[in-house]
Structure 1
Amino acid sequence: MAIPARRQGRSLFPDLPEWFESFPSRLAWPAMADLYTVRIEEYPEGDRYLVRAEIPGIDPGKDLDITVQDGMLTIRAERTEETQEKHRSEFRYGSFTRTVALPAGAKEDDIQADYNAGILTVSVGLGEAKKEARRIKVTHTE
């Protein structure tokens, strides 16, 4: 009796998880597809706010750009594909962007970044949060 073997190679139908991962791009929603390209975690630690991003396989000196403006931290990276014939590749290539809103009190002039083992860590100094909105009394004159 023959034992069925799993077929190798590409079939007419992609694997179900692969299909769902590419679903937004299949509908030409590139902004939505970018939500899944750079995975992050963010949390306060002492007097710093940390944003860690998973960006393996890049050269941080030339493929990474970090900017901050108006309380928004933007991480841009680009991973280029090597030109060689591959049997199968599930790696993602191209430009990746992720923007994170910094918490109240974040010091935009006190930001440091470090890249190690495929993880980018951005550390932002925290100061006093701005005071809440203050009510202004309105007088009525006749």
Structure 2
Amino acid sequence: MSDIMRHVPFDVPEPFRRFLHGETGSMLRVEEFQDGSTMVVRAELPGIEPDRDVDITVSGNTLTIAAKREEKSEYRGKHNYRSEFQYGAFTRSIQLPQGTREEDIKASYTDGVLEVRIPTPDQDSAPSRKVPVSRSAAGGHGSAGLGTTDATSEATAPGQFPGTPPVSE
């Protein structure tokens, strides 16, 4: 799409240009990984003031990161301005592990990267129990008719379908 935009003979409004480039906007892109017993979520948010522009909330088992980046218009000129930065409000919700304590969640902002560290609760240490699988005798009805043959069906001649009368020649 960007190749088409290079050949357009008129100025395309910024929001429309971003849409054509696939920058639909409001979803915050993150990376998420496990660091030992801690879930780590990172979001690249350069050019923001974390105290003012970031809001991290926990509701139930959902962590929501909301951020905003305001566009500064001091560089805008009629023919000499180009910006590929994204501006506006961005949000992302992440499912937290069951039993996460919100008071243990910590966030930091360094060099344009927001990092949220979520200690994951110890998983239930109860031993797992193997569930035995019973096996029915051959020809039993344990398979609900799948892949079984009906002993009462009539034999069919080659090329004849079950339930159709035999063809006499």
Normalised by the size of structure 2, how large is the TM-score? 0.57
The CA deviation at 1:57 is 0.8
The structure where strand makes up a greater share of residues is 1
The 3-state SS of whatever aligns with 2:105 is strand
Letter in 2 for 1:19: L
- Corresponding residue number in structure 2 for 1:28: none
Q: Check the 8 A contact 2:26/2:89 in 1, yes or no.
A: no
Instruction: Give a deviation string over 1:46-100, Cα, whole Å, max 9, x none.
Output: 1211111111110001111100111111011111111221411111111111111
Structure 1's 44 and 105: CA in aligned 2 closer, same or farther, altered over 3 A? farther
User: Aligned-pair RMSD on alpha carbons?
Assistant: 2.9
Cα–Cα, structure 1 residues 45 and 9, in superposed 2: closer, same or farther, change >3 Å?
Answer: same
> 2:22: which partner in 1?
21
% same residue = 38
8 Å contact kept, 1:71–1:108: no
Alignment of structure 1 residues 1-142 onto 2, 5 Å:
11-12=9-10, 19-22=20-23, 25=24, 33-35=25-27, 38-84=28-74, 85-86=76-77, 87-129=81-123
Count of residue pairs brought into register by the alignment: 113
> Which stretches in structure 2 are left out of the alignment for 5+ residues?
1-5, 126-169
**TM-score normalised per structure 1:** 0.67
Unmatched 5+ stretches in structure 1: 1-7, 26-32, 132-142
AA aligned opposite 1:93: Y
